[in-house]
Chain A
Amino acid sequence: MHASTQHETTEAAVADKLAEALQAKAEHQGCGTSGGSGKASCGSSAGQGDLPTEIWEKVKNHPCYSEEAHHHYARMHVAVAPACNIQCNYCNRKYDCANESRPGVVSEKLTPQQAAKKVLAVASTIPQMTVLGIAGPGDPLANPEKTFQTFELINRTAPDIKLCLSTNGLALPDHVDTIAGFNVDHVTITINMVDPEVGAKIYPWVFWKHKRYTGYEAAKLLTDRQMLGLEMLTERGILCKVNSVMIPGINDKHLVEVNRAVKSRGAFLHNIMPLISAPEHGTVFGLNGQRGPTAQELKALQDSCEGEMNMMRHCRQCRADAVGLLGEDRSAEFTTDKIMAMEVNYDLDSRKAYQALVEEERVAKVAAKQEEMEALAGEQSDIKLLVAVATKGSGLINEHFGHAKEFQVWELSTGGAKFVGHRRVDLYCQGGYGEEDSLETIIRAINDCHAVFVAKIGGCPKADLVKAGIEPVDGFAHEFIEKSAITWFKEYLNKVKTGEIVHAERGDAEIRQGALTNAA
């Protein structure tokens, strides 16, 4: 679309070198991006479940659209879109802290040329990086030239990488055809309301056609444009994820209605996220004391919306310049200074070879779960409980309790193991949590769990966990999460049956907000 006109000579030289190195591979179309039938190189259908093949092909290595994929595949965001066309009460663009992880925050803005270089650098370093998203820090479609020029450059140099974007939807109807033209398979729209009365409490204003609108009028305009954009995307077969911020007392009950509205317009996935509203973020909600939901409130709402439509439970509310697997942030390895100094060797074949290994891993994981599920067949119980898992990825229990920055939460029942969320436990950016009370913090974060699965755990925390009523389980180190959890659950049911233990409900847990730090 927009060919790059003028940029610095160093950048031009780098771009030329890249173009040369990539010439041979430029023709290649990556697996999955074109939909259609499965290709041998794309591996098996592990995790497909009841999804139609053409949809599975689109989501199977997109970590945000497939919970199963997020254990194996990484994504990156490039911060090429700083401008925004609306104002939200949960957003404040003025504050940026390198240790802060929340949407709308970045450490540096990139030009489309820098972004393209960064994508190649990351793709060469992290072969399981399959998705490039533009999510801000403003709105990608309020910066259409920068967004589409970035897509254009990446389509040319790294055609196997899936492109996606996340928008507030206001400008979406104007750009749907361009988006479709870039073979973008995934678009996320943040929809917090379908009732302008509710919207007026969330959005102070929107800027549209040279005018700032406020109040009801602003929210009405926004919701109309969002619904129109969603319909236009689904008509074109583009998968749509809807993000909703759960704001207790403002839109928590209303989100059930939002869920119905987006489902009926063909949205593929609904992601209900907890409001982040610490006062130090300087947002309207942070400053007026608006609280976020508890873990139980969030899960109850997600459960009530789960029906014909998939609910996303693995969102980490990442930064607009996040790099890596969901739940990790490697953006500090790829600052502009560092990537400009990097020798990039974008080798599509080695990326494909690596991804083939990942696929083997996935098949093994699914097979292990299958085996255990058969063993669970016959068991009958109404007991449903949560367990926390310390993992570094690949679907394994492979993290030390004391090193975990987050815990995955799985719901166990005789129906099997279901991923229902994650809890962050890393130290808070603004401080206040010392060494001594970090364990207390962890216990508060997983207080609704009956057990915590870890690769290893020290004696002291073990005793404290037991005291808090959470069983530390280290007997399944480096084994598959689901298989281990089901095995443990079977034993648990047995112990309840024989009277060895009494099953009791657990309390609520706290959703921790803020920093996803790189410090160990």
Chain B
Amino acid sequence: MTLKIVASQCTSCSACEPECPNVAIFEKNGTFVIDPKKCTECIGHFDVPQCAAVCPVDDTCVIDNAYPRYQPTA
């Protein structure tokens, strides 16, 4: 799995972008998006996904069920 940003709720504040340990977040058409290929749900980096922890709007950085669960290589 990966996280996704609910575009309709994103305030475009950019707080998540520098927090992402995988540099998976970038700005696109005025809001921020997560590259599902890079997102690791912060597994191996932090206890909780950083984008969700810093996001000012509840339920905006959420698990994207369209992708299979992230498998840590270890």
Contacts and interface: CB of A to CB of B under 8 A. Distances in A.
Interface in B1-54: 9, 11-15, 18-19, 46-48, 50, 53-54
A452 interface: no
Interface residues of A, number: 16
Given A210-B19, A210-B46, A212-B48, A93 B53 contact: no
Contacts, number: 43
Interface string B52-71: 01101100000000000000
A83 B53 contact: no
Contacts of A207: 15, 53-54
A490 interface: no
Interface SS of chain B: loop
Interface in A84-118: 84-85, 87, 93-94, 109
B54 A212 contact: yes
Interface residues of B, number: 16
Contacts of A212: 48, 53-54
A320 to B, nearest CB: 12
Given A210-B19, A210-B46, A210-B50, A94 B57 contact: yes
A155 interface: no
A344 interface: no
Contacts of B50: 210
A84 B56 contact: yes
Contact of A82 (B14, B47, B48): B14
B16 to A, nearest CB: 8
B26 to A, nearest CB: 15
A84 B13 CA distance: 8
Contacts of B12: 82, 109
Contacts of A514: none
A79 to B, nearest CB: 11
A138 interface: yes
A83 B15 contact: yes
A387 interface: no
A183 interface: no
Contacts of B19: 210
A174 to B, nearest CB: 14
Interface in A180-210: 207, 210
B53 A211 contact: yes
Contacts of A93: 11, 13, 56-57
A138 B54 contact: no
Interface of A: 82-85, 87, 93-94, 109, 137-138, 142-143, 207, 210-212
Given A84-B13, A210-B19, 16 more contacts: A82-B14, A82-B15, A83-B13, A83-B54, A84-B15, A84-B56, A93-B57, A138-B13, A138-B15, A142-B15, A207-B15, A207-B53, A207-B54, A210-B50, A210-B53, A212-B48
